[in-house]
Amino acid sequence: MADKKSGGKCFLVGAGPGDLGLVTLRARECIEQAEVIVYDYLSNAEMLKWAQEGAELIYAGKTAGAHTLTQEEINRLLVEKTEAGKQVVRLKGGDPFVFGRGGEEAQALAAARLRFEVVPGITSAIAGPAYAGIPVTHRGKNSHVTFFTGHEEPEKSGTAIDFAALAKLGGTQVMLMGVERIEAITREMLAHGVRADLPVALIRWATTGRQETLVGNVGNIAERVATSNFGAPAVAVFGDVVTLRDELNWFENRPLFGKRIVVTRARTQASALSEQLRALGADIIELPTIRIEPPSDLRTFAELVQDAHSYDWIVFTSPNGVTAFFEMFYKLYDDAREIGPARIAAIGPATAQRIKDFHLKVDLQPEEFVAESVLREFNKQGGVENLRILLARAEKARDLLPRELSALGAIVDEGFAYRTVPETRDDSGARRRLLEEGADLITFTSSSTVENFMALKLPWPEKMQVASIGPVTSNTAREHGLTVAVEARRHDIPGLVAALRKFFLGPVEDRSR
Ligand code: SAH
């Protein structure tokens, strides 16, 4: 590389077409290490959750209305931050060098003699068609692919699209940008001898849960766009390969495709639920309402953990409680045997699993997080009278368990292992998306998700229904005036996913297994 003026470096990173799973490992690594991230409208902003706490996130825009930086300002910003010695990530939709002006940004860095790297991404030009069931090449249908831009500034006559050349070339042609100009573009194509029945597909918001595909031919696609309110961002595929979609449309045929579902869990915990629903095809808005933090009185909790061995039972009511407990435990002790003779109870399968993750056996596991179920299990083991029980739980938890255990003669200590606080940040723009696009359903996985969502005082999107993980959460929802449409029968994430599946699809056989 040229003269290294500073330790700074700029990474021009392809963010892929939208599906979070289509981001490269290298891109994720860059995001995780970045001190400054400059991102666009098209890159899925959810990937910002991989950024370090405290990374500077700069929105460069490109959405109508919002303040956006000009290309010159972006170039200058990248140069400035890199010159200041920062690890800078410039996150761009798709591939940075495919109609993304990444080349210009690289030139600006090169001119300033700054170090940079390019991380190619999956371009919407290929992924878009693929997610619409259209292979861009297919034996017997075409032997070459052309990418072109439909967005040309009229005054720059030198760079105008060469329709004569395109018409002669044939093959598969993928157009980025320019759905707004589809009428003029298809008119030019016809005038240059392209056949009117050449198949065309437009794929909008490709690879995301809100993907939409419009199919037609060069002769009628403009009219179809006009009558269906179809708009940007979309890729257009021209060519006989489009007909393969009839057989190969895999993405839009998944069971929950077209359903928009809000996930309100804390950012760090949302992924299991989001991933399972996404795998079924749902469009997920991750709108975390809470964040997990250490308890207000960490010292008292530490003292209880230190004495854990002196209890007959340690009862865990959530995976978070387990994690907080053992993180503290292994700060205090370096030998697992210090837990002594205490037996371990875990409420719900997810809690039990977290205990197993710490290589401990669960002695008692009520299936349900309702006091009766817990008491019933304890009774099977001879009751709780005079037993010393440590309950590791969230601050301000609402269940009746400690009182009921005490009423049966147990000596109960409550250890507040963590607390949930309202999530105040909205870097991924989830709240804005919910307001603009609405949703079919919102999921609540604890009372605090209900309370904190309601505290945001967002207007309730029309027709948005409520799903709850269990009776305690449902009650809180009802106290807030909500009607619960779905309640999980098993009070954990797989239980909630199963309930949603049934709710949307009816009790059908699961063919995916
Ligand atoms: N570098 C990007 C393209 C940037 S130009 C890439 O490699 O994908 C912006 C254009 O890309 C949009 O106008 C649209 O045509 C296309 N595009 C990007 N993401 C898209 C998506 N998810 N769905 C449909 N089109 C998309």
For residue 40, indicate whether it is catalytic: yes
- Calculate how far, in angstroms, residue 123's C-alpha sits from the geometric centre of ligand 1: 7
pLDDT in tens, 231-258: 889 999 999 999 999 999 999 999 999 9
pLDDT tens digits, 114-141: 999 999 999 999 999 999 999 999 999 9
Among 283, 290, 276, smallest CA distance to 441 is for 283
Residue 475: burial class (beta carbons within 10 Å; 0-12, 13-18, 19+): middle
Residues near 407 by beta carbon (within 8 Å), at least 6 away in sequence: none
Whether 159 shows a pLDDT value over 70: the answer reads: no
pLDDT, tens digit, 9 for 90 and up, residues 320-341: 999 999 999 999 999 999 999 9
> Is 177 known to be catalytic?
yes
Give the neighbor-by-neighbor strand order of the sheet with 9-14. 56-61, 36-40, 87-92, 9-14, 115-119
Cβ of 178 below 6 Å from ligand 1: no
Q: Which of 159-163, 392-396, 500-504 has the lowest mean pLDDT?
A: 159-163
- What is the rounded average pLDDT for all residues in the chain? 91
Give 122 Cα–ligand 1 centroid separation in angstroms: 10
CB atoms within 10 A of CB 246: 9
| DSSP one-letter code for 418 | E
pLDDT one-digit tens code per residue, 451-496: 999 999 999 999 999 999 999 999 999 999 999 999 999 988 999 9
More confident residue, 48 or 88: 88
Q: Which domains occur in the chain, in start order?
A: 9-122 (3.40.1010.10), 126-253 (3.30.950.10), 260-289+423-505 (3.40.50.10090), 293-422 (3.40.50.10090)
pLDDT band at 229 (very low <50, low <70, confident <90, very high): confident
CA distance 290 to 424: 8
pLDDT at 207: 95
Confidence class for position 424, pLDDT limits 50, 70, 90: confident
Q: Say yes or no: CB of residue 207 within 6 Å of ligand 1.
A: yes
The whole-number pLDDT of residue 66 equals 58
Residue to substitute in 12, 20, 42 for testing ligand 1 pocket (most ligand atoms within 8 angstroms of CB): 42
Which 3-state string (H, E, C) describes 104-120? HHHHHHHHCCCEEEEEC
> What pLDDT, on the 0 to 100 scale, is given for residue 90?
97
Ligand 1 contacts CB of residue 148 (under 6 A) = no
Q: Is the CB of 324 under 6 A from ligand 1?
A: no
- Closest to 222 (Cα-Cα) out of 279, 150, 140: 150
Rounded to the nearest angstrom, the gap between the alpha carbon of residue 220 and the centroid of all alpha carbons in its chain is: 36
